[in-house]
Amino acid sequence: MSNKDVASLERIAPELEPQSIPTPERDVIRFVQSDGTLTELGQSRGVDVGFAQSLYREMVLARRLDVEALALQRQGELNLWLQCAGQEAAQVGSIRALDAADMVFPSYREHAAALSRGVTASELLSPWRGASHAGWDGSARRFHLYSLVLGTQTLHATGFAAGSRLAGTDDIVLTYFGDGAASQGDVNEALNWAAAMKLPVVFFCQNNQWAISTPSSSQMGAPLHQRAAGFGMPAWHVDGNDVLAVHAVTEAAALHVRSGRGPAFIEAQTYRMAGHSSSDDPGRYRGADEVTLWGGRDPISRMAKLLGELGTAEQFFAGLRAESDDFARDIRSACLSIERPRFEELFGNVYAEPHPVMERERAEFCALTSMLDAGV
């Protein structure tokens, strides 16, 4: 008996229909359309042009970083690069909605967010040049190290938020993760934990449609914003390529979270315009049509159009181009001057307190090095 036959044989009695069923995906919140025109909602909210320009500026610089870093990788100056092109609005819009004291736990593709938090190009490129595992001081930047083991950072964020609550401060935590990472046990444990304990965490998922070669559609059985609500937190579904909408939605979520009502979730629809990494060949698994389609939804050009429409002077754009070119030069020279660590120093970075194995091995390493250097 095939499945079809079974289905046609019997129906669930109407009074026994399931009480809780998957609801359809909600429309995204959008202020600015792909062509740069405002939606009705966008019109009703109005645009603070100066502020919009500052968001636009950060997106443009982040895109430039991405372009330069890829070039550096192609020239052999970086071992690897993970591009964030296409996701600038999701990142800049969200991180700019936080207070400076709020802590951020990123995944590994949050370069635009990192720049916004003051992480320098040199710090950002350092791991990809093989010079460190994390180039920046996470506490000072209020921007934790990148986490490559997918989803693990969402639990760290949850614990950090628990600490803030215990300490009685009103800072909140935002954590970034991808559509693929959402399948990991850790992310779901974090959602449940934060909801059960009503902790001040904003879970920000950049659904960029792909986890390497796996499309979001085969990664999950329901839209992520719906899953989050099922764990007991409100969820927003936003056009992740609309920096103004992302900013507004993140502000709303942060407000909810800061007011002690527990965590919140944002699913931002965006697109990984490049391959997964500089080693990836996306042509193997996705079509040009899709890439073109999303190219038309680019977060940066849409803002350029809107800003032009709203009367931004060409001078502003020209100034930004110049700044961006300077930035490109800085990136390149910053990259080339990143220094490899001295290996013997690493022994001192493992433990905070003295450790005999570290001391012994450092001594052995140094002795060996001098011996070999001496040509013995």
Partner 1 sequence: METMTLGGALNAGLRRALEADERVVLMGEDIGRLGGVFRVTDGLQKQFGANRVIDTPLAESGIVGTAIGLALRGFRPVCEIQFDGFVYPAFDQIVSQLAKLRARSGGRLTLPIVIRIPGGGGIGAVEHHSESNEAYFAHTAGLRVVSCSNPNDAFWMIQQAIASEDPVIFFEPKRRYWDKGQVEPHADLPLHGSRMLGRGDDALLVAHGPSVALALAAAAAAHEDGYSVGVLDLRSLSPLDLPTLLDAAKRSGRVVVVHEASTFGGIGAEIAATITEHCFADLKSPVLRVGGYNIPYPPAGVENEFLPDIDRVLVAIDRSLSFQVAS
Does residue 348 interact with partner 1 by CB under 8 A? yes
**What is the sign of the dihedral through the CA atoms of 220, 225, 229 and 233?**
positive
Report the residue from 102, 179, 267, 298 that binds ligand TPP according to the rule CB under 6 A: 179
Q: Record the tokens describing residue 355, joined without a space.
A: 């450790």
Q: Which of residues 206-265 bind Mg ion (CB under 5 A)?
A: 208, 211
Sign of CA dihedral 79, 348, 342, 136: positive
User: Counting contacts by CB under 8 A, is residue 183 touching a second copy?
Assistant: yes
Strand 235-239 to 214-215 pairing: unpaired
Q: Which class for 356: exposed (0-12), middle (13-18), buried (19 or more C-beta within 10 A)?
A: exposed
| SS3 assignment, position 105 | strand
**Contact string (CB under 8 A) for partner 1, positions 138-167, x = contact:** xx----xx--xxx-x-xxxxxxxxxxx-xx
> Binding residue for a second copy (CB under 8 A) from 33, 45, 308, 358?
45
Report the site for a second copy in 250-269 (rule: CB under 8 A): 252-253, 255-256, 258-262, 264
Q: Is residue 206 helix, strand or coil? A: strand
Q: Is 106 in the site for ligand TPP (CB under 6 A)?
A: no
146: left (phi over 0), alpha (psi -120 to 50) or beta: beta
Nearest to partner 1 of 131, 252 (CB atom): 131
154 binds ligand TPP, rule: CB under 6 A: no
Binding partner of residue 12 among partner 1, a second copy, Mg ion, none, CB cut-off 5 to 8 Å per kind: a second copy
| Near a second copy in 214-243, by CB under 8 A | 218-222, 225-237
Residues 6 or more apart in contact with residue 165 via CB below 8 angstroms: 199, 200
Kindly state whether residue 29 participates in binding a second copy, applying the rule CB under 8 A. yes
Radius of gyration, alpha carbons of the chain: 23
Phi (first) and psi of residue 211, to 5 degrees: -120, 100
249 binds, among a second copy, Mg ion, partner 1, none (CB under 5 to 8 A by kind): a second copy
Minimum CB separation from Mg ion for residue 142, in Å? 24
**Shortest reach from residue 169's CB to partner 1, in Å:** 9
Q: Which does 133 bind (CB under 5 to 8 A by kind): partner 1, Mg ion, a second copy, none?
A: partner 1
Interaction of residue 274 with ligand TPP, rule CB under 6 A: no
Q: Is residue 101 near partner 1 by the rule CB under 8 A?
A: no
Question: Which phi and psi angles does 226 have, rounded to 5°?
Answer: -75, -40
For 106-200, strand residue ranges (E) read 173-178
Count of Cβ atoms closer than 10 Å to residue 77 Cβ:
17
Binding residue for partner 1, selected from 33, 214, 301, 324, defined by CB under 8 A: 214
Residues between 177 and 196 that touch Mg ion (CB under 5 A): 178-180
- Note whether 87 and 109 are within 8 A (CB): yes
Residues that bind ligand TPP (CB under 6 A): 109, 148-150, 178-181, 208, 210-212, 272, 276
